[in-house]
Amino acid sequence: MLGYDVDVVNTVQFSNHTGYGHTNGHKTTPEQLSLIFEGLFTNGLVGYSRVLTGYVPGAEALAAVGTEVERMKKEGGDGVVYLLDRE
């Protein structure tokens, strides 16, 4: 973690990596992602300087994350850096 205080928001909860063929679990919906972020905002827990996403299950979910990152930048300053891990 290199000294960073890390909060994790799961965009999927799978039994294993999808490269194994069969996977059980679920994808977090865009609405669920928005609710999770709303809880973080409501409780004053959003003071992030960096946001990193890995696998995001679809364009709508990515748009929801993008909306929340924009909100973080608006409320917390332009110092928020968003990183998208494409691999």
35-81 tens-digit pLDDT: 999 999 999 998 888 899 988 999 999 999 999 999 999 987 778 89
- Is-above-0.85 flag for pTM? no
pLDDT score of 85 more than 90 = no
**Residue 80, strand partner residues:** none
Eight-state DSSP code of residue 43: T
List the domain boundaries for the chain: 12-84
Do residues 73 and 80 lie in contact, with contact meaning Cβ atoms separated by under 8 Å? yes
pLDDT band, residue 87 (cuts 50/70/90): low
